[in-house]
Amino acid sequence: MDLESASQVKQGLLAGGWSRVKALAKNFKTKVFDFFSNVKKLGQDDPRRVVHSLKVGLALTLVSLFYYYQPLYDSFGVSAMWAVMTVVVVFEFSVGATLGKGVNRGIATLLAGVLAVGAHKLAILSGRIGEPIVLGFFVFIQAAVSTFARFYPKMKARYDYGLLIFILTFSLISVSGYRDDDLLELAHKRLSTVLIGGSTCVVISILLFPVWAGQDLHNLTASNIEKLAYFLEGFGDEYFKMAEQEGEPKEDKSFLQGYKSVLNSKSNEDALANFARWEPGHGRFQFRHPWKQYQKVGALTRHCAYRIESLSGYLNADIQGKPEIRTRIQETCTKMSLESGKALKELGLAIKTMTKPFGADTHIENSKSAAKNLNSLLKSGLWDDEMDLLEIVPVATVASLLIDVVNCTEEIAESVRELASMANFQGIKTSSVSPEKPKPDQSNSHEAMNCSSVIITIGDGESSSHDQEPQNSSPTMNNTSSSRPSPRTAEV
């Protein structure tokens, strides 16, 4: 019995151990699969990331030749490693970010090298004992001043990296020069290798599948406006439950959540605008393009998004207000929301295509007219004195927020017009055939072309008294009738 029980215990331990091994193997397989799935998704979301990785690898390979190739190594020595380090820290995703870091690093290295050599020459004049004291004083002064300058907002936004490199280079050269007699050669090699690494990054970033921060900022601004437009176009039907009343199936409502990404877009817009200022003219964007105006449009868009976030809170609120009150304002609120959404969509399209936003004016006027009617309706009194205040406040709040959205839409439109004027957006090309003009009858065109004689219109006495009116009120129809006569006209 003891042997059998021991055997059973042993088999149980083996079975338990084997199950744990299989569970670990399965868990490892799942994690590996998830890892490669995430890598694949990361590349599919933005294929430029894959290209950027290859570009960084190419740049590092090229500058490594200064270390591998003996003639180049003889010229720069161990300092060639600075070129490799420069590529690692300078090469960024966009051209503007790479160019900004490269220029910052190059200018900071040059200025710090010159000042460090000058400080070293002055320190030598003080003698062997006073030299380290003077060098320490200069290092302290430049580090304190440069670090304090980094707190200045404009300096931190554009030159923070340059100030950091300035502190590093000045300290490195001035301190190293105390033990190294060949200080000029040290400064020259460091500056040369930094310029080589930085120029390699800039050239590869511009020539091989460039990623322009200005283009990304342009697309982001248009996309954010369109996200607000999608919400407003669907808000009226969703709030007043028009779709469910008609018995239509529920559709995808993800467009009601798109505005949330607009709320947190400030940091991304500011970074892209900063990088875009470093970029040369490219494509439709000339040098000194009004990138600051994009930030103004983005700020107004976020201001509107905050109003929309408040509106979104009333879609699924516990207290929706009395149905009869909502019915009274349904038409005007729906029109305000729909027209504001159409106006924002026109503004987003105008930015995307870089054309002047003429199409948004009509929708803005319609939304303002609806807002004026809603104001009159609210002042006239929509509720009785006996109604509960809790049933009135939600409806009145939604109406007030929609009026604010109309005002925000008008402000966005004005800022987009300023952008179109500053960036020289193109005008909309007019069609050769106006949609208001009726098209000629193609079925009788061959008969009309054969009639080349005087045409007399036969009518009764009543119509003859108004024979001059068509010439003044409808010249288009008169010209059409003279050039394409009807078969019912008489020929003389």
Q: What's the fold here for domain 213-422?
A: Methane Monooxygenase Hydroxylase; Chain G, domain 1 (1.20.58)
**CA-to-CA distance for 276 and 98, rounded, in angstroms?**
11
Is the pLDDT score of 145 beyond 90?
A: yes
**CA-to-CA distance for 426 and 420, rounded, in angstroms?**
8
Which pLDDT tens digit goes with each residue over 27-40? 888 889 988 888 88
State the pLDDT confidence band at 447, using cuts at 50, 70 and 90. Answer: very low
98-102, 219-223, 321-325: which range is least confident on average?
321-325
State the pLDDT confidence band at 10, using cuts at 50, 70 and 90. Answer: low
State the pLDDT confidence band at 444, using cuts at 50, 70 and 90. Answer: very low
The predicted model gives 367-386 an average pLDDT of 76
**CA-to-CA distance for 385 and 373, rounded, in angstroms?**
22
State the pLDDT confidence band at 383, using cuts at 50, 70 and 90. Answer: low
State the pLDDT confidence band at 430, using cuts at 50, 70 and 90. Answer: very low
State the pLDDT confidence band at 1, using cuts at 50, 70 and 90. Answer: low
**CA-to-CA distance for 256 and 262, rounded, in angstroms?**
12
The predicted model gives 443-465 an average pLDDT of 39
The top-scoring range by mean pLDDT among 74-88, 93-107, 173-187 is 93-107
Q: How far is CA 317 from the centre of its chain?
A: 31
pLDDT for 85: 92
Is the pLDDT score of 471 beyond 50?
A: no
Average pLDDT, the chain: 80
Higher-scoring residue by pLDDT: 257, 411: 411
The predicted model gives 29-52 an average pLDDT of 90
State the pLDDT confidence band at 389, using cuts at 50, 70 and 90. Answer: low
Higher-scoring residue by pLDDT: 405, 324: 405
The predicted model gives 445-458 an average pLDDT of 39
Give me 20's structure tokens: 């744990």
pLDDT for 16: 73
pLDDT for 455: 39
pLDDT above 70 covers what percent of the chain?
Answer: 77
The predicted model gives 416-442 an average pLDDT of 63
Three-class SS of residue 39?
Answer: helix
The top-scoring range by mean pLDDT among 5-9, 415-419, 474-478 is 415-419
Question: Does residue 419 contact residue 459 with C-beta atoms inside 8 Å?
Answer: no
Which DSSP string do the residues of 331-381 spell out, in sequence order? HHHHHHHHHHHHHHHHHHHHHHHTB--TTHHHHHHHHHHHHHHHHHHHHH-
**CA-to-CA distance for 109 and 115, rounded, in angstroms?**
10
**CA-to-CA distance for 297 and 40, rounded, in angstroms?**
35
Is the pLDDT score of 319 beyond 70?
A: no
The predicted model gives 17-24 an average pLDDT of 83
Is the pLDDT score of 348 beyond 80?
A: yes
The predicted model gives 320-348 an average pLDDT of 85
Which pLDDT tens digit goes with each residue over 90-127? 999 999 999 999 999 999 999 999 999 899 888 888 88
pLDDT above 90 covers what percent of the chain?
Answer: 42
**CA-to-CA distance for 350 and 359, rounded, in angstroms?**
9
Q: What is the pTM of this model?
A: 0.77
Those residues whose C-beta lies under 8 Å from the C-beta of residue 180, and which sit 6 or more positions away, are: 186
Which pLDDT tens digit goes with each residue over 69-80? 888 888 888 888
pLDDT for 474: 39
